């Protein structure tokens, strides 16, 4: 029996996707072998990757001015790739710091020799909100932000409207969870293991005009133009991860009905859970300011750490896993990624009410 999976990442995947991947495990596409055994140079694998890219473009509404590539190294490698490609030694760039991952990205830019500066930060209030006032550098090469913060449970509702340079965003934990206006963006990326597929591939979409400005004196495996020129196959790509991501794109398009439809489902899940938290008379306490709350990662605390440990254990006994907060902050967290269904959320809410009755 499958458990209700609230893990922050790797997170839940659609059952339909897992079932299709299982059917293809030994004989994919009548090739007589698994896709993991196929050469990435075969026409079948290349066609699979092309279709995955096409479905992603359709979901995001990307025209030919955008390039889509599949990278390795997780979202964390993008911290350095972005700084190396678009800033370089001495290059000026702005960062908006809303938590752990944007802090790491800022530090990686420093290591790469760039000159990042903070255009805004919410660190003074323990990253409980998304800033709405910015001190942008007019000479910045790009403006970097983290769209959704898995650790603190905050999410951008409205992105900076008039940045002086292209917005660059880590969208890992909210990718494909809602429609996006990408007018001011130059690059978005997402590690697959939250909302798209298994760990191993990072999806990157970037404007071609931004890619044309990339520095050429970076290692080949860190160069966006190299990835674009070679259709993400400069070396052996993470074929399995791309394949499962492609299945997820099809699921979103054909089963769910696109990003507007999945946003409606995601809002219903998060609103129900936040109502349960807010209606508990303080027994459950949300950690993010209401205006900045994430629809993907709901973070909350109980009156004591001992109660939090008891909550996690008893929830796991009831078939609900992954409810512990990030190791850097503790507490509790329910990640409500696309594949987390409403039945799981109702089960959690019912459990929370009973747990409060017994321990409140």
**pLDDT over 70, % of the chain:** 100
CB 94 within 8 A of CB 320: no
Catalytic residue among 28, 55, 156, 194: 194
Total-model pTM? 0.96
> How do residues 26-64 score in pLDDT, each as one tens digit?
998 989 989 888 888 888 899 999 999 999 999 999 999
Output the average pLDDT for the chain. 96
Q: Which of 267, 245, 266, 247 has its CA nearest to residue 255?
A: 247
CB 160 within 8 A of CB 186: no
Structure tokens at 297: 């990662």
Active site residue 101: yes
Q: Which domains does the chain have, with CATH numbers?
A: 15-256 (3.40.640.10), 258-359 (3.90.1150.10)
Q: Which of 112, 88, 102 has its CA nearest to residue 168?
A: 102
pLDDT for the residue numbered 151: 95
pLDDT for the residue numbered 37: 85
Catalytic residue among 66, 141, 156, 170: 170
Least confident of 21-30, 104-113, 127-136: 21-30
Catalytic residue among 101, 156, 240, 251: 101
Active site residue 157: no
Exposure of 50 in the CB half-sphere (CA atoms within 13 A): 8
Residues 6+ apart with CB under 8 A from 356: 280, 283, 284
Quickly state the pLDDT bin for 1 (edges 50, 70, 90).
Answer: confident
End-to-end CA distance of the chain: 31
360: pLDDT strictly greater than 90: no
CA distance 129 to 119: 15
Q: How far is CA 350 from CA 251, 320, 341, in A?
A: 29, 12, 15
Active site residue 55: no
3-state secondary structure of 125: helix
């Amino acid at each position: 029996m499958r458990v209700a999976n609230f893990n922050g990442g790797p997170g839940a995947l659609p059952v339909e996707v897992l079932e299709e991947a299982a059917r293809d495990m030994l004989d994919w596409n009548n090739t007589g072998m698994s896709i993991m055994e196929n050469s990435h140079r075969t026409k079948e694998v290349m066609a699979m990757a092309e279709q995955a890219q096409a479905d992603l473009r359709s979901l995001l509404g990307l025209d030919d001015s955008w390039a889509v590539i599949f990278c390795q190294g997780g979202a964390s490698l993008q911290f350095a790739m972005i700084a190396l490609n678009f800033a370089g030694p001495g290059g000026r760039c702005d960062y908006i710091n809303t938590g752990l991952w944007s802090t790491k990205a800022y530090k990686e830019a420093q290591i790469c020799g760039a000159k990042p500066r903070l255009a805004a930060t919410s660190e003074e209030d323990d990253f409980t909100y998304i800033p709405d006032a910015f001190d942008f550098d007019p000479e910045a090469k790009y403006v970097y932000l983290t769209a959704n913060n898995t650790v603190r449970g905050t999410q951008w509702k409205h992105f900076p409207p008039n940045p002086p340079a292209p917005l660059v965003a880590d969208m890992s934990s909210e990718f494909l969870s809602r429609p996006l206006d990408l007018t001011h963006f130059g690059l978005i990326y997402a590690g697959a293991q939250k909302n798209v597929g298994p760990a191993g591939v990072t999806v990157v979409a970037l404007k071609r005009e931004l890619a044309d400005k990339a520095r050429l004196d970076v290692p080949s495996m860190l160069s966006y133009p190299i990835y674009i020129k070679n259709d993400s196959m400069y070396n052996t790509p993470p074929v399995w991860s791309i394949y499962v991501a492609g299945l997820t794109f099809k699921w979103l398009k054909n089963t769910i009905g696109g990003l507007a439809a999945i946003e409606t489902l995601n809002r219903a899940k998060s609103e129900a859970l936040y109502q349960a938290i807010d209606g508990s008379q303080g027994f459950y306490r949300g950690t993010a300011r209401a205006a900045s709350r994430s629809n993907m990662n709901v973070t909350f605390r109980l009156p004591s750490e001992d109660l939090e440990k008891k909550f996690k254990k008893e929830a796991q006994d009831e078939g609900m896993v992954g409810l512990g907060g990030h190791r850097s902050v503790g507490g509790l967290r329910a990640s409500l990624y696309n594949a987390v269904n409403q039945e799981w959320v109702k089960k959690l809410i019912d459990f929370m009410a009973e747990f409060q009755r017994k321990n409140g």
